């Protein structure tokens, strides 16, 4: 049996938990989830795309999760549902529950007497918790974390090793913050005088809502005067930069290496592809999807998918196309001139 696996479940039990249509033997038990191509006996696989249908014939999985369109494309016991990927996520969470640490403060942690740590919380070694900070019920602050003065961590949240939460910042309930994340560092606020930059004190906070996940080495800057706000349900990948005074709408998903400059407002239920770059002081509406690698330099108030990536091509072809791009203005002016000449000929 997979050493990572916990309790096993029958297909009938899973349908009882999450619904769906059971096709085949409901007594079949599974102890782990796995991809179609690498699943082993006792594991539950899922199909979300037609391009993987060929693997149905060779998979060693004990059972499947499929959509209605694939209901009859395998003889294996299966659960049919509208969203196989979401169903898989629920089953995986059931089989692989969060491993909770026993409550208590490690003797090697430095917790200020003025901090409030719930008796049900865990605080790991070499962690520093400053005066006025609050650690909520059932939360975990793992080794080497720093929680600044008057910061707040909500109940059932997890700070993985090496997370830094600056003073006065707020993290809501059931948050997951991965290693190396920095919440509340100063925003990049400078004023020029006499050829020198003057630092503008960053006196706002970072306020993170409930059910947010923040990836490893992600940085979220505190507001200059108001707050940087991450609303409920936002999911962030690794190595993301959020500038000061940004607001990220509820249930938006942001892939790795995205950069969002200061004072930008991102709507709810948006999707930002990897390495997308968002200029500052823009407004992105609800339900906007931005393709990976896209540079956004103007506001996008209307829902939809936006892409601004030069098509991949062989280097020699790219050089030729880039050369043409450099002359687009001249070509435009020349075309307008020719159009005027053509109109003159037609008028005669």
**Statement: the pTM of the whole predicted model exceeds 0.95:** no
Counting every residue written for the chain, the total comes to 348
Check whether 327 has a pLDDT greater than 70: yes
Instruction: Answer yes or no: 167 catalytic.
Output: no
Q: What is the pLDDT of residues 160-208, one digit of tens each?
A: 999 999 999 999 999 999 999 999 999 999 999 999 999 999 999 999 9
Question: What is each CA distance from 184 to 113, 117, 207, 256, 267, in whole angstroms?
Answer: 23, 21, 9, 19, 21
Closest CA to 100 of 144, 48, 45, 155: 155
Check whether 323 has a pLDDT greater than 70: yes
Percent of the chain with pLDDT over 90: 90
| CA–CA gap between residue 175 and residue 144 (Å, rounded) | 18
CATH code for 9-95? 3.40.1390.10
Mean pLDDT for the chain?
95
Residue 1: predicted pLDDT: 44
CB-based contacts of 157, cutoff 8 Å, min separation 6: 136, 139, 140, 171, 172, 173, 174, 175, 176, 177
Q: What is the pLDDT of residues 19-43, one digit of tens each?
A: 999 999 999 999 999 999 999 999 9
Q: What ranges do the domains of the chain cover?
A: 9-95, 104-306, 315-347
Residue 166: predicted pLDDT: 98
Check whether 213 has a pLDDT greater than 90: yes
Residue 3: predicted pLDDT: 47
Report DSSP state, residue 50: G
CA atoms within 13 Å, Cβ hemisphere of 70: 27
Q: Quick one: average pLDDT of 92-96? A: 95
Closest CA to 73 of 88, 90, 53: 53
Check whether 4 has a pLDDT greater than 60: no
| CA–CA gap between residue 142 and residue 123 (Å, rounded) | 6
Question: Active-site residue among 31, 167, 244, 281?
Answer: 244
Into which CATH architecture does domain 104-306 fall?
3 Solenoid (2.160)
Q: Quick one: average pLDDT of 276-298? A: 97
Contact yes or no for 284/262 (Cβ under 8 A): no
Per-residue pLDDT band for 325 (boundaries 50, 70, 90) equals: confident
């Amino acid at each position: 049996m997979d050493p990572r696996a916990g309790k096993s479940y029958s297909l009938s039990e899973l349908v009882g938990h999450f619904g769906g249509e059971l096709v085949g033997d409901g007594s079949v038990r599974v102890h782990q989830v796995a991809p179609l191509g690498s699943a082993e006996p006792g594991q539950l696989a899922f199909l979300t795309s037609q391009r993987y249908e060929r693997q149905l014939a060779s998979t060693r999985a004990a059972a499947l999760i499929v959509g209605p369109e694939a209901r009859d494309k395998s003889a294996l016991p299966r659960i049919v549902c509208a969203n196989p990927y979401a169903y898989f996520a629920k089953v995986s969470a059931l089989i692989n529950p969060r491993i909770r640490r026993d409550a208590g403060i490690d003797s090697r942690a430095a917790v200020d007497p003025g901090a409030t740590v719930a008796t049900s919380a865990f605080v790991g070694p070499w962690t520093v918790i400053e005066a006025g900070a609050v650690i909520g019920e059932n939360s975990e602050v793992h080794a080497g974390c720093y929680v600044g003065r008057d910061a707040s961590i909500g109940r059932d949240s997890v700070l993985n090793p090496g997370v830094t939460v600056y003073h006065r910042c707020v993290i809501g309930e059931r948050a997951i913050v991965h290693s190396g994340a920095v919440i509340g560092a100063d925003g990049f606020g400078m004023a020029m005088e006499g050829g020198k930059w003057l630092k503008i004190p960053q006196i706002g906070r970072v306020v993170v809502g409930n059910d947010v996940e923040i990836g490893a080495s992600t940085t979220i800057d505190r507001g200059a005067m108001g707050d940087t706000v991450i609303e409920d349900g936002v999911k962030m990948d690794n190595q993301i930069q959020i500038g000061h005074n940004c607001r990220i709408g509820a249930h938006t998903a942001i892939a790795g290496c995205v950069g969002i400059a200061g004072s930008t407002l991102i709507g709810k239920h948006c999707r930002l592809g990897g390495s997308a770059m968002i200029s500052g002081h823009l407004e992105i509406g609800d339900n906007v999807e931005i393709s990976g690698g896209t540079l956004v330099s103007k506001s996008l108030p209307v829902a939809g998918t936006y892409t601004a990536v030069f098509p991949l091509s062989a280097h020699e072809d790219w050089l030729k196309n880039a050369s043409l791009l450099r002359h687009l203005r001249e070509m435009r002016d020349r075309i307008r001139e020719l159009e005027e000449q053509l109109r003159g000929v037609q008028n005669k």
